[in-house]
Amino acid sequence: MSENIDQYLKSEYSAGWITDIESLTIPPGLNEDVIRLISAKKQEPEWMLEWRLKAYRAWLEMKEPEWAHVVYPKPDFQALSYYSSPKSMEDGPQSLDEVDPELLRTYEKLGIPVHEQEVLAGVAVDMVFDSVSVGTTFRQKLKDAGVIFCPISEAVHEYPELVKKYLGSVVPQKDNFYAALNSAVFSDGSFVYIPKGVRCPMELSTYFRINEAKTGQFERTLIIADEGSQVSYLEGCTAPMRDENQLHAAVVELVALDDADIKYSTVQNWYPGDAQGKGGIYNFVTKRGIAHNRSKISWTQVETGSAVTWKYPSCILKGDDSIGEFYSVALTSNYQQADTGTKMIHLGKNTRSTIIAKGISAKQSSNSYRGLVKMNPGAEGARNYTQCDSLLIGDKCGAHTFPYIESKNPTAVIEHEATTSKVSDDQLFLCQQRGIDAEKAVSMIVNGFCKDVFRELPMEFAVEAGKLLEVSLEGAVG
């Protein structure tokens, strides 16, 4: 009967096309000259180049992590190109009116509001194409509110003090193998600064698109919410369908100063590879936030794409009474592998964290939750609640849970709940007996399973996430 389930699991990847555009791509290979070249292309100041080189030298000494529950051929770092930009973007950032229409069409086709006058455009968007940001909407409106939202390459020039102070402050250059690589070669990404006491007037979002073949995308995002400020940020990602694997190694750093509130949502839909497991993105990402007194950082992620995912959006709860949240839905199908979860590091008094992780595995895929909850000696009265649920569709997939708990403070309270369930033939039959076809039934059951997480997404995204699951599960049961 599980074969019946399988026949409904054919997934169609709708973002798999290529934009036909002339690009300038530097030759494959990585050495100090390549890093100097990237830095020169961005006309970076000397300090930025030194920062990159320091990361590169550290990276040379590091080993690729092998502890994750994933199996894949190691990327050949000398065979990748580390910088690719549409030719029309060669002269640096332009105003939206001057951006190559072909590039804007790429984003329009993906359903991203690129024109400020669009009705649904209650969201400001930074569009990152391969290694460069091609445009950012609503910059003026945001500027009027004192909010800075720009490509990070621009922030290096315009706001060097902020960048110097915070870049690498949450994820240091030597943090891990991929973070070090990213620190050496990062090309673009978004920079956000919300001034004291400001509630960001609109949702901010960055849409990442890999287009060029044989390149890696190494974006870097830095969000600083100053005291008492508030921001909600969304990120989306897609890439063309290709037979060879491509590497995406990003770093995201969040800084929530006293009483600030950052909500960071991701819908990750990188190309997952085909039904035979060929191609797809390697998504090796380091995301971390630091929460100061009474501040709050909330991560919500819906992960449906990528061939291999290695990603642990984390919170360092440094300040007293700070709050960390992690809501995750990770869906794997075909031969996808995901090893994802979070780290909640409680340093301050009365810090609180919540982890709700939902893993859905179908076909031959492997889906692992890996999470660390750590209560340091100073974490008086800290609390954590973790709930990890796995849903299996069919009988060839795997779900794994690796929770790590370390408590060095006797007053800290840690709760952990975990469940594993299957979309059962009985559930499907109940639906069918009531006239609902199996495909709709599976999508209903899976959406029900994810409800606790979808609730956390901004409204426009919740609808998109539901649809995305439906597409990823298209054809999934019987």
Partner 1 sequence: MLNINDLHARVEDTAILHGLNLEVKPGEVHAIMGPNGAGKSTLGNVLAGRPGYEVTGGSVTYKGNDLLELEAEERARAGVFLAFQYPVEIPGVSNMEFLKASVDAIRTARGDDVMSSMDFIKLAREKCKAVDLPQDFLKRGVNEGFSGGEKKRNELLQMMLLEPSLCILDETDSGLDIDALQVVARGVNALRSPDRGIIVVTHYQRLLDYIVPDYVHVLAKGRIVKSGGRELALELEKHGYSWIDEEVA
Interacting residue ranges for partner 1, rule: CB under 8 A = 1, 4, 421, 424-427, 429-438, 440, 444-445, 447-452, 478
Closer Cβ to partner 1, 411 or 424, answer by number: 424
Which residue is associated with the tokens 């550290």? 58
Q: How far is CA 256 from the centre of its chain?
A: 18
The Cα–Cα gap between 91 and 284 comes to: 30
Minimum CB distance to partner 1, residue 305 (Å): 23
Closer Cβ to partner 1, 25 or 447, answer by number: 447
Strands 23-25 and 84-86: antiparallel
Q: Are 242 and 272 in contact (CB under 8 A)?
A: no
Which residue is associated with the tokens 């009265």? 381
Minimum CB distance to partner 1, residue 327 (Å): 14
- What tokens does 313 get? 């959006």
Q: Are 341 and 314 in contact (CB under 8 A)?
A: no
Closer Cβ to partner 1, 231 or 329, answer by number: 329
Minimum CB distance to partner 1, residue 191 (Å): 38
The Cα–Cα gap between 157 and 136 comes to: 17
Q: Are 282 and 248 in contact (CB under 8 A)?
A: yes
The Cα–Cα gap between 326 and 324 comes to: 7
Minimum CB distance to partner 1, residue 4 (Å): 7
Report the largest interatomic distance among the alpha carbons of the chain, rounded to a whole angstrom.
69
Closer Cβ to partner 1, 163 or 445, answer by number: 445
HSE-up (13 A, CA, CB side) for residue 260? 29
The Cα–Cα gap between 381 and 387 comes to: 20
Closer Cβ to partner 1, 132 or 450, answer by number: 450
Minimum CB distance to partner 1, residue 434 (Å): 4
Q: 3-state DSSP call for residue 35?
A: helix
Closest to 121 measured CA to CA, from 96, 158, 153, 85: 96
Closer Cβ to partner 1, 250 or 477, answer by number: 477
Minimum CB distance to partner 1, residue 425 (Å): 6
- β-partners of residue 387 are 356, 417
Closer Cβ to partner 1, 47 or 429, answer by number: 429
Q: 3-state DSSP call for residue 181?
A: helix
Buried/exposed 89-120: b ≥16 CB within 10 Å, e otherwise: beeebeebeebbeebbebbeebebbbeeeeee
Minimum CB distance to partner 1, residue 232 (Å): 25
Helix or strand holding residue 281 (H, E): strand 280-291
Closer Cβ to partner 1, 116 or 425, answer by number: 425
Residue 27 class from Cβ within 10 Å (0-12 exposed, 13-18 middle, 19+ buried)? exposed
Minimum CB distance to partner 1, residue 419 (Å): 9
Minimum CB distance to partner 1, residue 469 (Å): 13
Residue 315 class from Cβ within 10 Å (0-12 exposed, 13-18 middle, 19+ buried)? buried
Closer Cβ to partner 1, 40 or 430, answer by number: 430
Residue type, 248: H
Closer Cβ to partner 1, 8 or 129, answer by number: 8
Minimum CB distance to partner 1, residue 154 (Å): 44
